[in-house]
Amino acid sequence: MKKLHTRRKKGEGMGLKHFVVLLAVVFAASYCRYDGTSSRNSGGSGGSGTVASSEATWYVDPAAPAGGNGLSPDSAFRSITEAIYPNNPQWDAGDDIVLLAGSYSERVTLDLSQLPVAAGYAGNPMVIRAEAGAVFYAPMKIIGGKYLRLENLVFSDVTGEALVIEGAEGVVITGCDIRRIYNDNSSADPSLNVPGNGMRLENVSGATIENCYIDTVDASGVVIRNSGSVVVKTSDFISAGDSAVVVDSSNKVELRDSSFVSSWIGLQIRGTSDDVYVFHCAARGNNFAGVATSFDPGFQPATPLKVERTIVTKNGVGFYFSNDRYTTVLNPTVAYNTNAGVVISRTVGFTMTNAIVVFNDDGIADYAGTAIDSYIDYLDLYGNTGSDLVNVVTYSNVIHADPYFTDSDLNDYSLTATSPCIDAGDPNVTPPAGGEPVVDLGAIEYIKDSGEVPLF
């Protein structure tokens, strides 16, 4: 289904005139594939700057004999670099590369900024798609390029950073699976050693990471640094020696429907990051903290961090906020963290609303007394074995009651019918559909009519 959708994408939303052009393009593409040597770069009426004369698919098979022309699986190139300009002068904007099943041990660096044309264009990205059974055992680095789509790449047992994207625009990374990534400490000069990150985006503008799975990395699962307009969604990041995901000095970053699990820090937001939004996520079982910030001291974000409907459980500290300015946390569930549920340190204007903070050590703590103008409203504080509040003086609408989670052992923090958190939230907040008349405390609204609850 996914592949079909991708192929059809170029026809979506086109008017009749464009459809006729498309037919001509499809015909030209068919023609050049049968032709083999191709006349696709000879120009012609379809060869304007914005629409390529045709779109080709180039095949790569690491076990192929030398001398393939790349135009079919039976005549595949042996490496990715063979498939692309300048090794393949026939390569054109928007062309796709299919990686056939096999073991890829080549260390790939694709400098797309050196292409004579764009990597892809709106509506027709350059797709690098791995078929089932294609596995990379070496790092891949992609530099520059615009409209690039990476599908179903699998990295396994890689030393160094598995996938690095630098300076690209409009990148989609979908369905990737990255496991067992190790620090590269092989250099005699320690400063040249490479951390074992699953993925790193550096100076990237416009990227989506979706449906990815990253597990067991020495350093971090994903590092997003000096980048902008990045969306991370429906992905799981597990067992990172450092952080499952790091957002460092980046802006307009949205993380949703994703989990950050069993790492040192689940989600770390740091530096001068601005306009970061975390929605419907879960941070669980992280040794130091589930979600931690370490903003540069004095940094004034234009759009402060917002965390909404996120579940932070069974970590060391749940939320650890440091140097934040005007961070907002809405409807969190913070439970069973072995240290404090929420720590605020040198924060200004921290607000938290509709919260469940239960069964932690301390509940909400400003240990050093350095937080300024915090405001905490509508919350359930219960079962915290230390103090519910440490140096937190401005709060209101607190209840102290067991929230009656469905099954915390199985990490199901939905509410059961008798939960005192149901309809106990801020009456001025519109509840999710089915949660009327009043929003609940915590991340998962109880839906009365169905007797069922959504995942979040």
Which residues make up the interface to Ca ion (CB under 5 A)? 94, 96, 124, 127, 423, 431, 435, 440
Of 94 and 139, which has the nearer Cβ to Ca ion?
94
Q: Which of 297, 207, 209 is nearest to 252 (CA)?
A: 207
CB of 94 to Ca ion, least distance (A): 4
Of 95 and 161, which has the nearer Cβ to Ca ion?
95
Of 166 and 440, which has the nearer Cβ to Ca ion?
440
Torsion of CA 204, 210, 213, 217, to 10 degrees: 20
Q: Which of 234, 210, 217 is nearest to 152 (CA)?
A: 210
| DSSP states of 367-422 | TTS--BS-EEEEEEEE--SS-SEES---EEEEE-----EEEGGGTEEEEPTT-TTT
CB of 133 to Ca ion, least distance (A): 22
148's tokens? 């690039």
200, containing H or E segment: strand 199-202
Of 388 and 440, which has the nearer Cβ to Ca ion?
440
> How far is the C-alpha of 358 from the C-alpha of 352, rounded, in Å?
15
Of 221 and 435, which has the nearer Cβ to Ca ion?
435
CB of 155 to Ca ion, least distance (A): 22
CB of 337 to Ca ion, least distance (A): 25
Residues 6 or more apart whose CB falls under 8 angstroms from that of 270 comprise: 246, 247, 248, 249, 293, 294, 295
In angstroms, the Cα distances linking 230 to 127, 165, 194, 249 are 19, 13, 24, 12
CB of 422 to Ca ion, least distance (A): 6
CB of 96 to Ca ion, least distance (A): 4
Of 83 and 127, which has the nearer Cβ to Ca ion?
127
CB of 440 to Ca ion, least distance (A): 4
Q: Which of 294, 295, 339 is nearest to 313 (CA)?
A: 339
Q: Which of 232, 48, 14 is nearest to 123 (CA)?
A: 14
> How far is the C-alpha of 368 from the C-alpha of 346, rounded, in Å?
8
* Residue 56 near residue 83, CB atoms below 8 Å: no
431's tokens? 């509840």
* Residue 354 near residue 429, CB atoms below 8 Å: yes
Of 55 and 366, which has the nearer Cβ to Ca ion?
55
Burial 409-423 (b: 16+ CB within 10 A, else e): eebebbbeeebbbbb
Of 304 and 431, which has the nearer Cβ to Ca ion?
431
Using DSSP's 3-state secondary structure scheme, residue 33 falls into helix
CB of 150 to Ca ion, least distance (A): 12
292's tokens? 């931690």
CB of 297 to Ca ion, least distance (A): 39
> How far is the C-alpha of 438 from the C-alpha of 427, rounded, in Å?
6
Of 55 and 274, which has the nearer Cβ to Ca ion?
55
Residue closest to Ca ion (Cβ): 435
Residues 6 or more apart whose CB falls under 8 angstroms from that of 157 comprise: 137, 179, 180, 182
**Locus of tokens 């913070």:** 334
Of 148 and 181, which has the nearer Cβ to Ca ion?
148
Of 127 and 307, which has the nearer Cβ to Ca ion?
127
CB of 151 to Ca ion, least distance (A): 11
> How far is the C-alpha of 305 from the C-alpha of 319, rounded, in Å?
13
CB of 172 to Ca ion, least distance (A): 12
List the alpha helices (DSSP H) in 160-242: none
CB of 18 to Ca ion, least distance (A): 16
Of 149 and 314, which has the nearer Cβ to Ca ion?
149
